[in-house]
Structure 1
Amino acid sequence: MAPPISRGRRLRIGIGGMHIESSTFSPHRAAYDDFRVTRGDELLARYDWTRPDGDLAEVVEWVPLVHAVSLPGGPVDPATYARVKAELTDRIRAAGPLDGLVYDIHGAMSVVGLEDAEGDLTDAVREAIGPDALISAAMDLHGNVSRRFADRLDLLTAHRLAPHEDAWETRERAARKLVERLVSGKGRPHIAWVQIPVLLPGEKTSTRLEPATSLYGRLAAVEALDGVVDAAIWVGYAWADEPRCRATVVVTGDDPALVVDQARSLAREYWEVRRDFAFVGPTGSADACIADALASPDRPFLISDSGDNPTAGGAGDLAYMLRRLLAHDDLAAGRATALHPGITDPAAVARCFAAGVGATVTVAVGGHFSGAEAHGGPYDLVGEVVALRPGDEVGGDLAAVRCGGVTVLLTSRRKPFHRVADFGELDPRTYDLVVVKIGYLEPELYEMAADWRLALTPGGVDQDLLRLGHRRVVRPLYPFDEEMSEPDLTPVLL
Structure 2
Amino acid sequence: MSSSTAPLPIIAIAGLAIETSTFSPQRTRLPEQFHPYRGNDICNDKYASFLGPDTQLRKEADWRGALIGHALPGGVVTRELFDTLGSEICSRLLEIVLDAKKQGRKLDGLWFDIHGAMVVEGLNDAEFVLLDRIRKVIGDDVLVSASMDLHGNVSRELAHGCDLISCYRTAPHVDVKETKERACWNLVDLLRKRRKEGEDFKRPLNAWVPIPVLLPGEQTSTRVEPAKRLYDAVPGVEKMDGVLDASIWVGYAWADEPRNRAVILVTGWDENAVTKGAEKLARLFWDVHEEFHFVAKTGNYKECIDAALKSGKSQRPFFISDSGDNPTAGGSGDVTWGLTKLLERKEFKNEDGPTVIYASVPGPDATDVAVKAGIGSTITVTAGAMVDNLHAGPITMTGRVHAIKHGDKYANTEVVLQVGSVYAILTELRKPYHLEKDFTDLDLKPREADIVIVKIGYLEPELYDMAEDWMLGLTPGGVDQDLERLGHHRIRRPMYPFDKKFEQEPDLRARLIPAANEVLGGSDE
TM alignment of 1:289-438, pairs within 5 A: 289-297=304-312, 298-334=315-351, 335-371=353-389, 374-423=390-439, 424=441, 425-438=443-456
Return the alpha-carbon distance in structure 2 between the equivalents of residues 57 and 153 of structure 1. Answer: 22
Return the alpha-carbon distance in structure 1 between the equivalents of residues 145 and 40 of structure 2. Answer: 21
- Check if 1:489 corresponds to 2:508: yes
State the match for 1:280 in structure 2.
Answer: 295
Q: Helix, strand or coil for the counterpart of 2:27?
A: coil
- Check if 1:247 corresponds to 2:266: no
Q: CA deviation at 1:58?
A: 4.0
TM-score by length of 2: 0.91
State the match for 2:73 in structure 1.
Answer: 72
Return the alpha-carbon distance in structure 2 between the equivalents of residues 453 and 128 of structure 1. Answer: 49
Alignment coverage as a number of residue pairs: 488
Q: CA deviation at 1:73?
A: 0.4
State the match for 2:53 in structure 1.
Answer: 52
- Check if 1:469 corresponds to 2:467: no
Q: Helix, strand or coil for the counterpart of 1:34?
A: helix
- Check if 1:183 corresponds to 2:192: yes
Q: Quick check: 1:181–1:187 contact (8 Å CA) kept in 2?
A: no
Return the alpha-carbon distance in structure 2 between the equivalents of residues 84 and 410 of structure 1. Answer: 31
Q: CA deviation at 1:56?
A: 3.1
Q: Helix, strand or coil for the counterpart of 1:489?
A: coil
Letter in 2 for 1:355: A
- Check if 1:119 corresponds to 2:118: no
Task: Structure 1: give runs of 5+ residues left out of the alignment.
Answer: none
Return the alpha-carbon distance in structure 1 between the equivalents of residues 388 and 369 of structure 2. Answer: 20
State the match for 1:19 in structure 2.
Answer: 17
Return the alpha-carbon distance in structure 1 between the equivalents of residues 34 and 258 of structure 2. Answer: 26
Q: Helix, strand or coil for the counterpart of 1:236?
A: coil
Return the alpha-carbon distance in structure 2 between the equivalents of residues 73 and 181 of structure 1. Answer: 35
State the match for 2:250 in structure 1.
Answer: 235
Moved more, 56-65 or 130-139: 56-65
State the match for 1:139 in structure 2.
Answer: 148
Return the alpha-carbon distance in structure 2 between the equivalents of residues 124 and 426 of structure 1. Answer: 48
- Check if 1:200 corresponds to 2:199: no
Q: Helix, strand or coil for the counterpart of 2:230?
A: helix
1:174-208 deviation per Cα after TM superposition (whole angstroms, max 9, x unaligned): 00000001101145211001110000000000000
Moved more, 88-97 or 312-321: 88-97
Q: CA deviation at 1:385?
A: 1.4
State the match for 2:519 in structure 1.
Answer: none
Moved more, 328-337 or 464-473: 328-337
- Check if 1:108 corresponds to 2:117: yes
Q: CA deviation at 1:271?
A: 1.2
Q: Quick check: 2:208–2:510 contact (8 Å CA) kept in 1?
A: yes
Letter in 2 for 1:157: S
Q: Helix, strand or coil for the counterpart of 2:76?
A: coil
Letter in 1 for 2:377: A
Letter in 2 for 1:36: H
Moved more, 34-43 or 325-334: 325-334
Task: Structure 2: give runs of 5+ residues left out of the alignment.
Answer: 98-105, 195-200, 514-525
Letter in 2 for 1:44: C
Q: CA deviation at 1:7?
A: 4.3
Return the alpha-carbon distance in structure 2 between the equivalents of residues 475 and 443 of structure 1. Answer: 35
Q: CA deviation at 1:39?
A: 1.1
1:349-369 deviation per Cα after TM superposition (whole angstroms, max 9, x unaligned): 122222222222222221021
Runs of 4+ in structure 1 deviating by more than 4 angstroms, as ranges, are none
1:305-344 deviation per Cα after TM superposition (whole angstroms, max 9, x unaligned): 1010000000001111111211221112342110001211
Q: Quick check: 1:155–1:188 contact (8 Å CA) kept in 2?
A: no
State the match for 2:276 in structure 1.
Answer: 261
State the match for 2:521 in structure 1.
Answer: none
Return the alpha-carbon distance in structure 1 between the equivalents of residues 202 and 365 of structure 2. Answer: 55
TM alignment of 1:5-44, pairs within 5 A: 7-31=5-29, 32-44=31-43
Q: Quick check: 2:27–2:77 contact (8 Å CA) kept in 1?
A: yes
Return the alpha-carbon distance in structure 1 between the equivalents of residues 59 and 321 of structure 2. Answer: 47
Letter in 2 for 1:59: E
Return the alpha-carbon distance in structure 1 between the equivalents of residues 482 and 95 of structure 2. Answer: 47
1:18-52 deviation per Cα after TM superposition (whole angstroms, max 9, x unaligned): 01100001111112221101012221113233233
Letter in 2 for 1:394: Y
- Check if 1:94 corresponds to 2:95: yes
The 1:319/1:254 distance shift into structure 2, 3 A limit, reads same
Letter in 2 for 1:282: K
Q: Quick check: 2:50–2:177 contact (8 Å CA) kept in 1?
A: no
Q: Helix, strand or coil for the counterpart of 1:56?
A: helix
Q: Quick check: 1:325–1:332 contact (8 Å CA) kept in 2?
A: no
Letter in 2 for 1:461: V
Moved more, 198-207 or 252-261: 252-261
Q: Quick check: 1:417–1:436 contact (8 Å CA) kept in 2?
A: yes
1:427-480 deviation per Cα after TM superposition (whole angstroms, max 9, x unaligned): 212211000010000000000001111000000000000011111111111100
Letter in 2 for 1:346: P
Q: Quick check: 1:39–1:65 contact (8 Å CA) kept in 2?
A: yes
Return the alpha-carbon distance in structure 2 between the equivalents of residues 73 and 43 of structure 1. Answer: 23
